[in-house]
Amino acid sequence: MWNAILNYYLCKPNEALFCFNKCRRDKQYGRQAVYAMVKIVLNPDNEIISNEEDWKRKLQGPRFDEAKASQATAFNLLQSMGEASNDIRYRVLENWCLGHTGEKHNLEQATENLSQILNDHKDNVGALCAISECFIGLKNVQKARQYLKKTTKLVWNMDDADEIEQCWLMLAMTYVQATKYDEALELCKKVLNVNKCSTRALEILGMMNEQTGAHKDAAENYEQAWKYSRKNQPSIGYKLAFNYLKSKRLTDAIDIAHFILQRYPDNTRVRKDILEKARLMLK
């Protein structure tokens, strides 16, 4: 079980799934393992959904078929636990699955179901997080923000740590998109106070610095995020290399591009936007 958790936090979703799968029939850890598997299947890259564009990117083209397959797998995992169907966490994840493919009628049904859960369990962080994602999918960011704000008043605890962090970061991203950088900064600091290795919090800090033209500071943020992700998230590597490029650290940008392309040779974006441009600038 501990190997599975370690791989999860090392940003190695496939390895984590493999280890969690071995624990599925364990009397002590089986339920926890299945719930963790469902979360990974639905969101292997630990993406933060904070606006309509995030939903579109998640579901565009072939990714919609992937989302449908992930939804089916997640439902099967939950149904394999039949006896847990009355558990609150089970019900929350069930509705997270329901809204996963972004179809309007499913999102509306999920929000209705999650609202009922929150009527009885108003501080359930998983439900608050799931319903916020659904409202963002329904293009109602203001409503999502209302639910996310409720989590800022909750006391951080280990049992809900992942969902609390996700809610705070979702809220921070909605503020970034509204150019309310001070509010977003406070939330990122709040996350980093309890999780100094939060790659997403560091990534959001980098994003804010990048948007304000502070590319050197952005590169420092992305350096930390790249380090704590154990260089397992190419999207962060791309942002780091891009800000190296903007900061005229051309050889550093090339090094990151080479590293990513060794692992992901089909990543044309890194090759075109970083490697080729950096080489031209060196001539």
Helices 141-151 and 161-177: angle between axes, nearest 10 degrees: 140
Helices 234-246 and 199-211: angle between axes, nearest 10 degrees: 30
Q: How far is CA 41 from the centre of its chain?
A: 12
- Backbone region of residue 267 per phi and psi (left: phi > 0; alpha: psi in -120 to 50; beta: other values): beta
Tokens of 45: 């890259």
Residue ranges, CATH 1.25.40.10, the chain: 200-283
pLDDT tens for the chain, residues 1 to 283? 778 888 888 888 899 999 999 888 888 888 889 999 999 999 988 888 888 788 877 777 778 889 899 999 999 999 888 765 678 999 999 999 999 999 999 999 999 999 999 999 999 999 999 999 999 999 999 999 999 999 999 988 988 999 999 999 999 999 999 999 999 999 999 999 999 999 999 999 999 999 999 999 999 999 999 999 999 999 999 999 999 999 999 999 999 999 999 999 999 999 999 999 999 998 7
Number of other CB atoms surrounding residue 225 within 10 Å: 25
Q: Could you read off the pLDDT of 134-174 as tens digits, one per residue?
A: 999 999 999 999 999 999 999 889 889 999 999 999 999 99
Supply the CATH classification number for the domain 200-283.
1.25.40.10
Where are the alpha helices (H) located in the chain, listed in sequence order?
Answer: 2-9, 13-22, 30-42, 52-59, 62-79, 88-98, 104-120, 125-137, 141-151, 161-177, 181-194, 199-211, 215-228, 234-246, 250-263, 268-270, 277-282
Contact 159, 137 (CB under 8 A): no
Q: Could you read off the pLDDT of 66-91 as tens digits, one per residue?
A: 989 999 999 999 988 876 567 899 99
Helices 199-211 and 161-177: angle between axes, nearest 10 degrees: 10
User: Nearest 10 degrees: CA dihedral of 86, 91, 92, 95?
Assistant: -170
Number of other CB atoms surrounding residue 86 within 10 Å: 7
Q: What is the C-alpha separation between 166 and 56, in angstroms, rounded?
A: 19
Supply the CATH classification number for the domain 47-195.
1.25.40
Number of other CB atoms surrounding residue 76 within 10 Å: 12
